[in-house]
Amino acid sequence: MRPESTKIDQTDSKNADGASSDIGSAETDAFTPNSKRNGVLEDLSMSGADLADKSDSLELIEKPFFLGLPMWSNRSWTGSLFPKSANNKLNLKYYSQVFDSVEGNTTFYALPGRELVCDWIEQLTPGFQFCFKIPRAVTHENNLRYCGVELSEFFTRLEPLSDYSGTFMIQLPENFGPGQLGDLDRFIQELPSNYHFAVEVRHTDFFNREEEEKALNRLLRDNEIDRVCFDSRALFSRPALTAQEKDAHKKKPKLPVHAIATSTKPILRFIGCSDVEQNKQFFLPWVEKIREWRDQGIQPSIFIHTPDNVAAPEQAVILHGMLNNIPGWVPLEKPLLNSADEAQLSFF
């Protein structure tokens, strides 16, 4: 069944004014480098033409996107992502042979020990990147305030992985609203300049295309911080049919999708349902958006979720095949063990 609408809005990041248009229109979200942290701040009211000229000068990116899952270990992936005889302590090794990125949800709850960090490094394929989450003690318990000690420990613990660090995620709770943007601003100024960051907001006022959202977008854009694009439309596009879908409907936020890049490395978190055909309809607008981003020198990290994540690897492989016409696309280095040849999946 085809959903009534698979379009997603893009908030206009050219001037951070909160305007929106459907993905696939002539408008783009070209990014203009400017950063308080780097001492450079350009006029937010620049014209679209001026910004297009700026985007043409961005360095050519080596690959158009990174692709992965919300985790690298799941028992149900044995026989597809992991060999049946594999030691589960080596799951990251097999995962990184197929996908080149992963959501680092583990650090949201606890920091890994030093020995474990070293073990991860030993398993990684070159070019792999983690998108670690800032600990919930910082984002949810302290609301970004008085957390210098926790932040220092976080970055110190993960420093050995600096060569494998992608965009760090700052996931804010639903009750973190426009009145706390000052706290977010102060927090951003304390972040190390050698890493890239993206902020995920869930307060509905940040999706209203009014001054509250404009202020957020300006803050992020001024500091070269990206905004996480959270897309749960596929999940909520049909009634929950399984116990896992019912649980996901309760836990996952249902928010408008604003496809915006306020810097050069946005994150897309795609929350699908259990029906792959249903999810494909919601993949399609992202195929065009990722192509636009690639042309602008913007390199997203894409993470595919499903209610129980059992079929997440297969669905990520399907999306990868649908992106095969984007310049710079290359086949996965290693297909899933039980999947058809990827070429058969590249039918879009």
**Tens of pLDDT, residues 262-295:** 999 999 999 999 999 999 999 999 999 999 999 9
Query: In this predicted structure, what is the pLDDT of residue 334?
Result: 86
Residue 18 has pLDDT above 70, yes or no: no
Query: Please, which pLDDT band fits residue 62 given cuts at 50, 70 and 90?
Result: confident
Query: In this predicted structure, what is the pLDDT of residue 6?
Result: 62
Query: In this predicted structure, what is the pLDDT of residue 10?
Result: 58
Inside any domain, residue 24: no
Query: In this predicted structure, what is the pLDDT of residue 333?
Result: 85
Average pLDDT over residues 1-20: 47
Inside any domain, residue 313: yes
**Alpha carbon distances (Å) from 332 to 119, 165, 319, 343:** 24, 20, 12, 10
Residue 63 has pLDDT above 60, yes or no: yes
Domain count, the chain: 1
Residue 13 has pLDDT above 50, yes or no: no
Inside any domain, residue 35: no
Query: In this predicted structure, what is the pLDDT of residue 7?
Result: 61
Residue 14 has pLDDT above 80, yes or no: no
- Sequence-distant (6+) residues with CB within 8 A of 243 are none
* Predicted confidence (pLDDT) per residue in 99-131, tens digit: 999 999 999 999 999 999 999 999 999 999 999
Inside any domain, residue 152: yes
Range scoring the smallest mean pLDDT among 48-52, 94-98, 200-204, 293-297: 48-52
Which residue has better confidence, 57 or 219? 219
Query: Please, which pLDDT band fits residue 23 given cuts at 50, 70 and 90?
Result: very low
Placement of tokens 């409907």 in the chain: 249
CB atoms under 10 Å from CB of 59, counted, come to 7
Residue 335 has pLDDT above 60, yes or no: yes
Residue 84 has pLDDT above 50, yes or no: yes
Inside any domain, residue 47: no
* Predicted confidence (pLDDT) per residue in 187-202, tens digit: 999 999 999 999 999 9
CB atoms under 10 Å from CB of 301, counted, come to 27
- Look up residue 15 and give its two tokens: 């001037």
Residue 49 has pLDDT above 50, yes or no: no
Inside any domain, residue 163: yes
Average pLDDT over residues 132-139: 97
Q: How close are the terminal C-alpha atoms of the chain, in Å? A: 18
Query: Please, which pLDDT band fits residue 61 given cuts at 50, 70 and 90?
Result: low
Inside any domain, residue 108: yes
Average pLDDT, the chain: 84
pTM of the model: 0.84
Residue 97 has pLDDT above 60, yes or no: yes
Residue 348 has pLDDT above 70, yes or no: no
Inside any domain, residue 311: yes
Query: Please, which pLDDT band fits residue 251 given cuts at 50, 70 and 90?
Result: very high
Q: Identify residue 225 by its one-letter amino acid code.
A: I
Task: Classify the C-alpha dihedral 237-240-241-246 as positive or negative.
Answer: positive
Which residue has better confidence, 225 or 346? 225
The DSSP line for 150-181 is: HHHHHHHHHGGGGGGB-EEEEEPPTT--GGGH
Give the residue numbers spanning the domain of 116: 60-345
Alpha helices in the chain (DSSP H): 48-56, 91-98, 106-109, 114-123, 136, 148-158, 181-189, 211-222, 243-251, 276-295, 312-322
CATH of the domain at 103: 3.20.20.410
